[in-house]
Amino acid sequence: MNLLLDEIARATARLAEAGVASPRADAEELAAAVHGVRRAELHAVPDGAFDARFWEGVARREAGEPLQHITGRAFFRYLELKVGPGVFVPRPETEVVAGWAIDTLRDMDVTDPLVVDLGTGSGAIALSIAQEAPRARVHAVERDPKAYVHATHNIEELDDRGRVRLHLADFSTALGDLDGTVDLVISNPPYIPMSEWEYVPQDVRDHDPPDALWGGGDDGLDAVRVVERTARRLLRPGGYVAVEHSDLQGNAVYWVFPEENGWRDVRNRRDLTNRDRFVTARLGAE
């Protein structure tokens, strides 16, 4: 028996008993991070190379600390991002939102499309767009200084073509010099109402930044409303907006983009689990 695989099996049992949702995957990811290999390579780690720090990571995960904070990395589409305390950990469902934006940009009859990512956090969406829609120029906006530091590190490391510009600014006033020129605005804003506090997993509410979770207002959609106003200001006629929401907010977010504000083709779109996940809209010509 390979020692590391045996220890992973023991760790899986401990994490399962602690109520971790994906105990085997988390144990393997912790082992891979500690030993400097990919999960598919764990079987090749010799017994003599076993690093006991693996059990430190298991204990932290057992206590409810997010896996990504322990390993210092998160995977998003084709990226490996540096994350940690102070920045929102990107979720798999957001990959679908970014994918829609990338497909839309590829289909645009625009030589160098201009994109704004409001609330970039780790830089996951902005960097994915820059990587997968290589003609796009992306302005990433983040208002939290701690998250801004994480985004800075990821952009410096991963944006080798210099397509992403990062701005420390508030969503509502950012990038006034780009008003009326942007082809696509995308955002994964905070949207959870405080009334849902007790239903949010403890490791999320205890470790993700509060400003990245709680959207404000009785319905949690105040930040989404800010995105709507900013997108309306930034977009050129015919430009698109995409904004993420919870799987229970689709209808409410749909009406944040009313026709009287100039929005056309408003659609609620679903994630890979067939749940409402994000709204898209096009700004009509004046």
Q: Is 121 labeled as ligand-binding?
A: yes
60, two tokens: 């932290």
CA nearest to 110, candidates 208, 38, 198, 181: 181
| 263 touches 281 (CB < 8 A) | yes
Place of tokens 């239903």: 199
If one counts every other C-beta atom within 10 angstroms of the C-beta of residue 65, the result is 16
Q: Which of 88, 90, 193, 278 is catalytic?
A: 88
User: Could you give the CA distance from residue 22 to residue 16 in angstroms, rounded to a whole number?
Assistant: 8
257, two tokens: 């983009």
State the Cα angle at 199 between 193 and 200, rounded to 5°. Answer: 75
Told to judge if 189 belongs to the known catalytic residues of this protein, a careful annotator would answer: yes
User: Could you give the CA distance from residue 16 to residue 23 in angstroms, rounded to a whole number?
Assistant: 5
User: Could you give the CA distance from residue 171 to residue 121 in angstroms, rounded to a whole number?
Assistant: 13
Q: Which of 54, 66, 113, 188 is catalytic?
A: 188
1, two tokens: 């028996």
Place of tokens 């939290």: 144
Told to judge if 92 belongs to the known catalytic residues of this protein, a careful annotator would answer: no
Query: DSSP assignment, residue 143?
Result: -
CA nearest to 282, candidates 56, 107, 162: 107
Q: Is 119 labeled as ligand-binding?
A: yes
Q: Which of 189, 193, 257, 278 is catalytic?
A: 189
Q: Is 268 labeled as ligand-binding?
A: no
Q: Is 187 labeled as ligand-binding?
A: no
Q: Is 190 labeled as ligand-binding?
A: yes
Q: Is 71 labeled as ligand-binding?
A: no
Place of tokens 């540096």: 82
| 66 touches 216 (CB < 8 A) | no
Q: Is 142 labeled as ligand-binding?
A: yes
Start-to-end CA span in the chain (Å): 70
Q: Is 120 labeled as ligand-binding?
A: yes
Told to judge if 88 belongs to the known catalytic residues of this protein, a careful annotator would answer: yes
228, two tokens: 């709507």
Annotated binding site for S-adenosyl-L-methionine: 119-123, 142, 171, 188
Binding residues for substrate: 188-191
Active-site residue numbers? 88, 188-189
Binding-site annotation: residue ranges: 119-123, 142, 171, 188-191
